[in-house]
Amino acid sequence: MSITSKYYGRTQDGREVYQYVLENANGMRVTALEYGCVIADVEVPDRTGGPRSVVLGYDSLEQYERDTVSMGAFVGRCANRIEGARFTLDGKTYSLPANDGRNHLHGTFGGMVYKGSLVNGSLVLKGSSPDGDDGFPGRVDVAVTYTLTDDNALVMDYTAETDAPTLVNLTNHSYFNLEGRFSGSVLEQTLWLNAPSFTEGNAETCPTGRILPVAGTPMDFTAEKPIGRDIRADYDQLTMCEGYDHNFVLDKEPGELALAARARAERTGITMEVYTTQPGVQLYTGNFLAKSAAPGAPAAFGQYQGFCLETQHFPCAPSHPEFPSVVLRPGETYHQTTIYRFRVE
């Protein structure tokens, strides 16, 4: 595998940003930015042998800075939603910005500039979130490692440490389209999830605390089916957000690196498998992509033009102590791994 770097641009507040291109022996290429640890492009061979860009992305740093949909970004300090934009930890209540209605969504990590370096054939991006960032307590130091293997797997490894009790839940927010970046809707592409249940959402897609079986509902992806087969079903969990924006509970042991999902595009022959140590995965079908994409984007990304498989701990975990904990304390190391592996059928 080779890694090359070049100057990409300067942020509006003057910070330099570099771009890194990881390439393996099969011609697969991954482009990552120091800005937000963004995965700006993933090129994989399709059944013709030609390269196919399978993630959505923008053309410039300015567009990434103006983005409102976390395009390809590494998100946190606490990915997904925190209900009411507040949480209580060790008896103290913390208030966060309400950036998604009355709730807090994702945080500032997608807009940070990280420092990249090459370590043992991998790209390592490091950054720090100061005490009080977005209202969270404690300084958090994070390291994001991207490795591209010769079996066409992009390995994402995340670590974080803190100097005070805080919350940490990290994920990648790439929008995939296995037919190509500008090919249109993903609804005919198929998906399988290793998830017999999901966390029921309220009208704001925050978990109610109930974990429901997918069997007999449009939420069932335990048998491979087109993403769009049931997306317009008369089912409250779908109608409230115009599609899928739900956390699925994976059928695996805590901390086990296991197969979580498989997506496939018949037209290109590209299959993507997702492995993770995380307990959940958020399926988001780009329901509001057309309304939220950055002004000046290279093309108008439409509704359902990309799907996200955000491996994670469950949303609103501070409100539901029965969920896997997202609390990180001094002396502990947060460590999670997710792998996106591509092959051609």
Catalytic residue ranges: 173, 310
Within 8 A by CB and 6+ apart from 250, the residues are: 193, 194, 195, 258, 260, 276, 278, 279, 280, 281
Mind giving me the DSSP string for 259-326? EEEEEEETTTTEEEEEEESSSEEEEE--TTHHHHSPTT-SS-PPTTS-BEEEEESPTTGGG-TTSPP-
∠ CA 153-159-164, nearest 5°, is: 165
Mind giving me the DSSP string for 20-77? EEEE-TTS-EEEEESBTT-EEEEEEE-TTS-EEE-B---SSHHHHHH-SS-TT-EE-S
Q: Which amino acid is at 196?
A: P
What's the first-to-final CA gap in the chain, in angstroms? 23
